[in-house]
Amino acid sequence: DGGITQSPKYLFRKEGQNVTLSCEQNLNHDAMYWYRQDPGQGLRLIYYSQIVNDFQKGDIAEGYSVSREKKESFPLTVTSAQKNPTAFYLCASSPEGEHQPQHFGDGTRLSIL
């Protein structure tokens, strides 16, 4: 079955620690995205990538980093510079271009220890 997989489902971060959230898709989609969702809020775009080895900052990229070395994979690192990392993180993918709905992973819930 094609889909998009995020891991882990729950993650805890200590002060000063970097953590990496995994996102893998086997839908052969060109575009991938990372969103952050806080309680009662919509999805806010952190980073997106339209092609391998290229990515762009979204609205709230500070304190985060990404890589896109393979089409299938788009990991997100939450760095120690992100002072308020507690949130629900969603990865998505889509065929590139207009009119294409996004397919979402099940999310990773990150909390501070």
Partner 1 sequence: GQNIDQPTEMTATEGAIVQINCTYQTSGFNGLFWYQQHAGEAPTFLSYNVLDGLEEKGRFSSFLSRSKGYSYLLLKELQMKDSASYLCAAPSGGSYIPTFGRGTSLIVHP
**Smallest gap, in angstroms, from Cβ of residue 44 to partner 1?**
8
Contact between 87 and partner 1 by CB under 8 A: the answer reads: no
Alpha carbon separation from 104 to 23, 38, 97, 108 (Å, rounded) = 10, 16, 17, 11
Which of residues 90, 93, 108, 110 is near partner 1 by CB under 8 A?
90
Q: Which of residues 7-66 bind partner 1 (CB under 8 A)?
A: 33, 35, 40-45, 48, 59
Q: Is-contact 21 11, C-beta < 8 A?
A: yes
Please work out the total of residues on this chain that contact partner 1, with binding judged by CB under 8 A: 25
Q: Are 67 and 86 in contact (CB under 8 A)?
A: no
